[in-house]
Amino acid sequence: MVSADREKALDKVFMILEVKALSKSFGGLKAIHDLSLGVKKGSIHAIIGPNGAGKSTFFNLISGHLHADEGEVLFKGEDITKMPPHRICRKGIGRSFQLISIFPNLAVFENIRVAKLSWFRQNMNFCSSSKKMFLNECQEVLDKVGLSGKGSDLAGTLAYGQQKQLELGIALSVNPELLLLDEPTAGMSIGETATQLNIIERLARDHGLTVLFTEHDMAAVFSIAEKITVFHQGIVLAEGKPGDIRNDEKIKRIYLGKRG
Amino acid sequence: MTLAFLLTLPLHGSLFHVRLVNEMAIFALFAIATNLMLGYGGTMPFGQAAFFGTGAYTCGLLLMKAGVPLPLCLIAAGILSACLAVITGFFSLRLTGIYFAMITLAFSMMIWGVVWKWRSFTGGDDGLVGIPLPSALAPVINYYYLCLGVIAFCMILLLIIVRSPFGSILQAIRENRVRTEFVGINVKRHLLIGFVISGFFCGVAGALFALLSRGAFTEYINYPTSVEVVLMCILGGVFSFAGPALGAVVVILLESLISSYTEYWLVIMGVVLILLVEFVPGGIIGLSRQRKGA
């Protein structure tokens, strides 16, 4: 549960991410319609909603993989609406993908190292040997996401849950201020889910990261989120603290599956 | 051992063998340079002959018409091919997969068309014949050693590049383009630089080949050359540095051995390739690794 002190502290901080009147259509389908949202610095913010509510589209709009038809996205006050993904990443946003997105035929350690090489702007270094670079930094990330002993395994051979952890590790390697996690625990076992949630929570509490995540597992959402936004058919249906959302009759009817 | 063999070959082999090995070495460089984009970058470059041919013609024309010193000719061949790669890459790397392959092919056909038609300058379908070599390099054996030196130097540079952060990120792009973009890499720019480096070394290989055959011909630029080099890479194994070189050696050896018995050597080549791709996707290098693993 979120302590009263932390809630008070969060009330004072500024919005790290502001989305204003965002719209995106695919053909005739309005995936996101005139949607506005603010995410406070240092908070853990969940987006929930049924399939097709526009959660993934929303993430792709923020990270630059899709471009909005209308509206704008501000990160720390800067307009990032039309930036390509690699520049948005450099501004301080890390993300994970709903379907696992790693480098399957590279070793786990190399998966992290690629991100570190990029972060330290070594991408145009033609002379040094990668093998000796950023050993400590990469190991630190692996420790953080619980893959300490797996560095030399091929990423594609890891168990599903571990691949999810690696995915989180890659996102963390670019030292983001805002972390976008698209269903970070989907498909994980109960034990793995608990570990993953624990890691995410620690990132926000101890390292000051802002986490914006989508999730279908309601138990997971209510256990770590400090604020929840409910999407439905591309618009914001409701927004509030976990307690308020849990007790909202309208949301229960359309989403949580109880008849009012 | 390979090195010792290469260095002492002129002592125990005939001139024919020296020439054959020289050709293998040049194509090994051509294949390794191509593999930078194929195996490491994960793209399908189907117009590499354009760079090989541009290198050959640049070197030949500079020697014949301007009498430029040889080292400068080699560098100029690389640079002009690299410039061509900037233009080709700028347009083709906007697309991926088969579309990228088609555009690179189209560009190489355009270059071929220009060389074919511009008879007064390039010799058209007669090619450039009788490229002069400095007298010190006129003996086959002297040229052989020069070639080995240049090729070894280029291969070492390529090896360093492949193992550098630039090379690591190139492989990451092959594995997962979208992911690489979202660790902060400008994927298109990165691939373009890889394409230009590849073009440079293909150009140097082309120049060396023009000097070996004392001529430059339109078939150097034509699409079968592009296909052949990709074939060498796949046959040898695209996921290792040395694989494509091995592929080049095998293809040229088969070409020379089998074609002395039958004119249908391509049929045998085809069978070998099909068997390898079906059963050993890692190429010949993959085959030897499987053995070691078992």
Selected for mutation to probe chain A from B176, B191, B239 (highest A CB count within 10 Å) is B176
| Chain B nearest C-alpha distance from A5 (Å) | 35
Q: Shortest CA distance to B81 belongs to which of B199, B211, B192?
A: B199
Distance CA A178, CA A93 (A): 5
Q: How confident is the model at residue B261 (pLDDT cuts 50, 70, 90)?
A: confident
Two tokens at A163? 């691949």
Beta partners for residue A182, in sequence order: A214
pLDDT in tens, A90-141: 999 999 998 899 999 999 999 999 999 999 999 999 999 999 999 999 999 9
What tens digit of pLDDT does each residue of B64-74 get? 988 889 999 99
> What's the token pair of residue B69?
């010193």
How many other C-beta atoms are found inside a 10 Å radius of the C-beta of residue A133?
A: 18
Window 188-247 of A: residues touching B by CB (8 A cutoff) are none
Is pLDDT larger for residue A175 or for residue B13? A175
Q: Which residues of B60-70 are buried (b: 16+ CB within 10 A; e: fewer)?
A: bbbbbeeebeb
Q: Could you give the C-alpha distances from A242 to A48, A222, A257, B96, in angstroms and in order?
A: 11, 6, 17, 44
Tell me the two tokens of residue A114: 């690629």
pLDDT of residue A165: 92
Q: Is the pLDDT of residue B287 over 90?
A: no
CB contact under 8 A, B163 and A130: yes
pLDDT band at B190 (very low <50, low <70, confident <90, very high): very high
What per-residue confidence (pLDDT) applies to B263?
76
Q: What is the pLDDT of residue B97?
A: 87
Buried b / exposed e over B248-271, threshold 16 CB at 10 Å, is: bbbbbebbeebeeeeeebeebbee
Interface contact A123-B185, CB threshold 8 A: yes
User: Which residues, including other chains, have CB under 8 Å from residue B77's CB and lie 6 or more apart?
Assistant: B54, B55, B56, B58, B59, B62, B203, B204, B206, B207
Give the distance from residue A192's alpha carbon to the nearest chain B alpha carbon, in angstroms.
23
In order of A72, B253, B281, the CA distances from B275 in angstroms are 55, 18, 9
User: Measuring CA to CA, how many Å separate B63 from each of A115, B119, B210?
Assistant: 47, 18, 11
pLDDT value at residue A245: 87
* B187: helix, strand or coil: helix
Give A251-260 pLDDT, tens digit per residue: 777 765 544 3
> In chain A, helix, strand, coil percent, each to 5?
40, 25, 35
Q: Provide the 10 A C-beta neighbour count for residue A13.
A: 12
DSSP state of A107: B
| 3-class secondary structure, B189 | helix
Confidence (pTM): 0.90
Give φ, ψ of A45 to 5 degrees. Answer: -120, 125
A138 neighbors A148 (Cβ within 8 angstroms) = no
- Cβ contacts from A onto B, under 8 A: 92
For residue B259, the distance in angstroms to the closest alpha carbon of chain A comes to 39
For residues A223-238, average pLDDT: 91
Give CA–CA dist B226/B247, Å, rounded: 14
Complex ipTM above 0.90? no
State which residues form the domain around B25.
2-222
Name which of A59, A80, A83, A86 to mutate to probe chain B: the one with the most chain B Cβ atoms within 10 A of its Cβ.
A86
The residue count for chain B: 294
CB spacing of A106 vs B160 below 8 angstroms: no
The pLDDT of residue B108 is: 94
Backbone phi, then psi, for B54, in 5-degree steps? -60, -40
Q: How does pLDDT run across A37-70, given as a tens digit for each residue? A: 999 999 999 999 888 889 999 999 999 999 999 9
Within 13 A of B240's CA, how many CA atoms are on the CB side? 19
Beta-carbon neighbour count of residue B71 at 10 Å? Answer: 10
Burial string for A247-256 (b: 16+ CB within 10 Å, else e) reads ebeebeeebe
pLDDT at B15: 85
Cα–Cα distance measured from residue B10 to residue B144, given in angstroms and rounded to the nearest whole number: 9
Q: For A4-256, CATH number? A: 3.40.50.300
Domain tally for chain B?
1
Which phi and psi (to 5°) does residue B184 adopt? 100, 20
Asked if A66 has any chain B CB less than 8 Å from its own CB, the reply is no
Which long-range CB contacts under 8 A does A84-91 form with residues at least 24 apart?
A84/B181, A84/B186, A85/B178, A85/B181, A85/B182, A86/B181, A86/B182, A86/B184, A86/B185, A86/B186, A86/B187, A88/A62, A88/A63, A88/A64, A89/A63, A89/A174, A89/A176, A89/B181, A89/B182, A89/B183, A89/B184, A90/A174, A90/B184
Give yes or no for A104 touching B (CB within 8 A).
yes
- For position A51, what pLDDT does the model report? 84
Range of B8-12, B226-230, B261-265 with top mean pLDDT: B226-230
First to last CA, chain A: 27
Nearest to B182 among A63, A129, A131 (CB): A63
Highest average pLDDT, of A233-242, B124-133, B205-214, comes from B205-214
CB B173 within 8 A of CB B42: yes
- DSSP-derived 3-state class of residue A189: coil
Average pLDDT over residues A189-218: 90
Q: pLDDT value at position A259?
A: 46
Residues in chain A, total: 260
Q: Residue B193 and residue A118: Cβ atoms within 8 Å?
A: no
Phi, psi of B215 (to 5 degrees): -170, 165
Cβ pair A16, A39 in contact under 8 A: yes
Q: Is the pLDDT of residue B266 over 90?
A: no
- The strand pairing partners of B129, in sequence order, are B215
A171 pLDDT band, cuts 50/70/90, is very high
pLDDT tens per residue across span A137-151:
999 999 999 899 999
Query: What local confidence, expressed as pLDDT, does residue B196 receive?
Result: 98
Pairing of strands B215-216, B128-129: antiparallel
Query: Any idea where the domains of chain A sit in the sequence?
Result: 4-256
Query: Which one, of B209, B198, B210, B212, lies nearest residue B157 by Cα?
Result: B198
Yes or no: say if B134 and B73 are a contact pair by the CB < 8 Å rule: no
